Homo-oligomer: A and B are copies of this chain.
Amino acid sequence: MQSFDIDKSDLLRIKTALNGSDAELQQVLQQYHTSEIAILFEKLEPDERERIINILPAEEASEVISEMDEEHHPAELLANLTSEKRSEIVEELDYDDATDLLSQMDESDQQDILREIDQEDATNIRALLSYDEDTAGGLMNTDLIKVNGKLNKNEALEEIIKQSEEMEEFYTLYAVDDADVLLGILSIKDIIKARPMVRVEELVKKDYVYVKADLDQEEVAKLISQYNLTSIPVVNDDMRLLGRITVDDIIDVMEEENTEDILKISGVSEDEELSGGWRDAVKSRLPWLIINLATAFLAASVIRSYEDTAAKLPIISAYMIIIAGMGGNAATQALAVTVRRISLSDLTDRQAYMTVLKEALVGMTNGATNGVIVAGVAMWYDANPILGLVMFLAMTGNVIVAGLTGATIPLILKRVGIDPAVASSIIITTFTDCIGFLLPLWLATKLLL
């Protein structure tokens, strides 16, 4: 199959086919990979998605549903199908995907489905449902290939072929003892190359990375990325093998965490759905705006306390909003670099100190440069050299404050255990606004009145 991008013509074909008979629709659908149908689903209406899922064979329907982004509510789509259809689909799903979907349903739909499906599947899914969805346990799949360490080469190969029957890719093989305790990992290459009577336990690689079921998913992603793994085994406290997490699930975690980072740094609640409704968006954003409003009153009180200065020198309003605004921009820059750096690796005390020093230097340089421009405007346009001096000093000062707070605040928040991305931007704009108004007003009062 050719690698291609879904474009408007594909959407048009599907939309046209949706107006035709089932047979026509089926024929069009056959030309798409299930991942592609999942992408096309993003542009379709809920009833159109339901019709397509009903027409597809259960195996393909299950792939489409497991490929759908959580944003587009695959769980809702599944819950709305007839009980026969949804059982068929759930039975085809990998256990981790089925668990994910069921955990998004309400209790009664969840219980209905668990009653309807094959009881061995139900037991496996129930076990996975007991883990928090943001942990290794919630992310792992119980479908994996494990062989007993006592088996010899041919017994092991037979076992691997048997267990891999329903698996697309088997990634790493695991060796366990009679009590399912993990002995190590195995490569298929070493088994193929081994002499006939060698036992699995002699071939095992004992130098491997594993995680406990309660580890946070972000930490799992870091390990997979650091050690360049394609999968990682999940064990309980007694080292019994519970499941494994594969790299494709980690890629989804990374995308999710990145969305959260960008939202948090912009003052949006991390669980706002990108394509959600307006009411949810209000719920997610209004609290931040109200906190911001409170800090804005603080900045406004600075202006109030210099009412006389503003009255005697009305032109200062136009200048001080420039000083405050530029401070906000410079702080956002320093904040973004520092927050991202912290999220990629922890900093030593010395590195933290150097970061703050660097931002002070950057602030001094960028502040003075912009200060010269503003001073130039004050001197030539408003013909007031002292006003120029005031604005040069205020701009330089505020952009230094911006750099210092942009670097220091996230570093402090991180050390006291608060997510720097969430709280930093409100705190630093409060600083740059207050100082951005205070400096020009105070300096003007001293030097110009």
Interface residues of A (CB under 8 A from B): 1-3, 8, 11, 33, 35, 39, 42-43, 67, 69, 157, 160-161, 164, 169-171, 187-189, 192-193, 206-211, 223-230, 247-248, 250-252, 254-255, 258-259, 261-263, 265-268, 272, 274-275, 277-278, 281-282, 285-286, 288-290, 292-293, 296-297, 299-301, 303-304, 307, 310-311, 314-315, 317-319, 321-322, 324-326, 328-330, 332-333, 335-337, 339-341, 344-345, 348, 351, 358-359, 361-362, 365-366, 369-370, 373-374, 377, 429, 433, 437
In the assembled complex, the Cα of A124 lies from the Cα of B301 at a distance in Å of 67
With CB as the reference atom, state the residue of chain B lying closest to A307. B314
Asked if residues B281 and A358 are in contact (CB atoms below 8 Å), the reply is yes
User: Are the C-beta atoms of A299 and B325 separated by less than 8 Å?
Assistant: yes
Is the beta-carbon distance between A267 and B170 smaller than 8 angstroms?
Answer: no
Instruction: Specify which of B285, B303, B332 is in contact with A333 (CB 8 Å cutoff).
Output: B285
Instruction: Tell me the nearest residue of chain B to A211, going by C-beta.
Output: B3
Q: A277-B358, A307-B314 are in contact. Are A336 and B262 (CB under 8 A)?
A: yes
Is the pair B330, A285 in contact by a Cβ cutoff of 8 Å? yes
Residues in B whose Cβ lies below 8 Å from that of A297? 322, 377
Docked complex Cα distance between A208 and B43 (Å): 25
Does the CB pair B223–A3 fall under 8 Å? yes
Q: Is B365 a contact partner of A290 (Cβ separation < 8 A)?
A: no
- Do the beta carbons of A370 and B289 come within 8 Å of each other? yes
* Bound-complex Cα distance A230 to B231 (A): 10
A333 and B267 contact, CB distance less than 8 A: yes
Contact: B332 with A267, CB < 8 Å? yes
Asked if A265 and B262 sit within 8 Å, CB to CB, the answer is: yes
Contact B35 A226 (CB under 8 A): yes
10 A-B pairs besides A161-B192, A278-B359, A297-B377 with CB distance below 8 A are A3-B223, A188-B188, A230-B248, A254-B255, A259-B340, A274-B340, A281-B337, A285-B330, A288-B329, A296-B326
A247 to B321, CA, bound (A): 48
Closest Cβ of chain B to A339, distance in Å, is 8
Please name 9 pairs of A and B residues whose Cβ atoms are closer than 8 Å in the assembled complex, sorted by A.
A43-B348, A169-B187, A229-B248, A263-B336, A268-B333, A275-B351, A286-B369, A296-B326, A311-B311
Q: Which residues does chain B contribute within 8 Å of A274, judged by CB atoms?
A: 337, 340-341, 344
How close is A64's CB to chain B, nearest CB, in angstroms?
12
Closest 5 CB pairs of A and B: A266-B336, A228-B248, A300-B318, A278-B361, A274-B341
Contact A358 B278 (CB under 8 A): yes
**Shortest Cβ distance from A347 into chain B, in angstroms?**
9
Q: Which residues of the partner chain B approach A263 to less than 8 Å between Cβ atoms? A: 336-337, 340
Kindly report which residue of chain B lies nearest to residue A72, judged by CB atoms: B345
A388 to chain B, nearest CB (A): 15
B residues less than 8 Å from A369 (CB atoms): 286, 289-290
- Asked whether B322 lies within 8 Å of A321 as measured between CB atoms, the reply is no
Q: A433: which B residues are within 8 A, CB to CB?
A: 321, 325
A292 touches B325 (CB 8 A): yes
Residue of B33, B169, B321 near A299 (CB, 8 A) is: B321
A426 CA / B345 CA spacing, docked (Å) = 29
Chain B nearest CB, measured from A414 CB (Å): 15
Chain B residues positioned under 8 Å from A359 (CB to CB): 278, 281
Least CB distance from A433 to B in Å reads 7
A209, B1: Cβ atoms closer than 8 Å? yes
Give chain B residues whose Cβ lies under 8 Å from the Cβ of A187: 169
